Amino acid sequence: MKIAFLGLGAMGSGMARCLIAAGHDVALFNRTRARADALEGDGARVCGTPREAANGARAVFAMVGDDAASRAVWCGRDGALAGDLAPGAFAIECSTLSHDRALELAGQAGERGLRYIDCPVTGLADAAVAGDLTLLVGADETDLAAARPLLAAIASRIIHFGPVGAGTAYKLMVNLMGSIQIAAAAEGLLIAEKAGLDMAQVADILETSMAASPQVVRNLRQMMAASHDRDIVFCARWRAKDTAYGVALAEKLGTSAGLGRAARRAFALVLDQGDGEMNESRVIDAMRAANI
C-alpha cells in the first residue's frame, strides 16, 4: 500500500521502519529532514512537504508532538489534507493530541472523504522499533476493520474504545494518572529527605511496595540517580503537554481534576526553569527548588 508517514521522532521512526519492512511504499516527511534521510536507505521516499508525501497515498500516518505540530502537518496549503489522496484513504493520527484537536481533525478528514482513525499509542521507543505498540483506537467499527491489516505492522495489540475521540480520551486519562503518580513519587521522596530517612533504603522498599507502578519505579530510579539529562525516556516538555491536555479534557467533562491540576503545576515548574528537554524525573528538582 502507498503510505505517507509524517513525523519521525523516536517513536515515528520506529513505526515507519515497521511499515517499510512490511513491504509498503512509504513516503516520509519530517520537519528536520535529516531524520527522514536516515530512513531513505531502507527504501522510503523523502518528501519536502506533507502534501507531497500524501499525494496518491491510501493511508497517511502522523506521529507528532502536539496540537500545533498536528495542524502543521495536516492543514494548510502544504498539509497532507491538501494532497491528492486516494478516494477513501485512511487518516491515522497516532499523536497524543488534545481531545478538541482530535475531534477537529476528524471533521477535517471527513470533509475530504477520508476514513479517520483516532489512534494514539502506548509503548516506548523500543516497542515502536519492534512493532510491539498498543494502539488505543477510537473509530467507526467498519473503518477499523479495514485498517487492521495495516495497523498490525506497528502493533501487537489494538484496543477499540468506541467512536472517534474515545481513543484519545483514554490516552489522556491514563497519561494524566501517570503524571499524578510521578509527581506524587517526587513529593514522597522530598518528604523522606526532610525526615532524614536513608534514601537508598526508601527507594529499595518503594520499588516493591503497594505504591509502586512501572511509572513510579522508572522515575524513582532516575530521581535517585539525578540522571535527568541522560537515558531520557520521556522528556518533561511532553509530560507537561500531556498533563495539560488531560486536565483540559477533565474540565471539559465537568470534573474537578484537582490532582491533575496539581501535577500540571508541578511539571510546568520544570518548563519554567528551562529544563523541558530533560527527563520527566526532573520534576523532583523543580519541586525541591520551589519548595512545594
Catalytic, 171? Answer yes
Query: Which one of 171, 194, 241, 252 is the catalytic residue?
Result: 171
**DSSP per residue over the chain, as a string?**
-EEEEE--SHHHHHHHHHHHHTT-EEEEE-SSHHHHHHHHTTT-EE-SSHHHHHTT-SEEEE--SSHHHHHHHHSSTTSGGGS-PPTT-EEEE-S---HHHHHHHHHHHHHTT-EEEE--EES-HHHHHHT-EEEEEES-HHHHHHHHHHHTTTEEEEEEEESTTHHHHHHHHHHHHHHHHHHHHHHHHHHHHHTT--HHHHHHHHTTSTT--HHHHHHHHHHHHT-TTSS-SSBHHHHHHHHHHHHHHHHHTT---HHHHHHHHHHHHHHHTT-TTSBGGGHHHHHHHHT-
Residue 261: Cβ within 10 Å count: 15
Question: Which sequence positions are flagged as catalytic?
Answer: 171
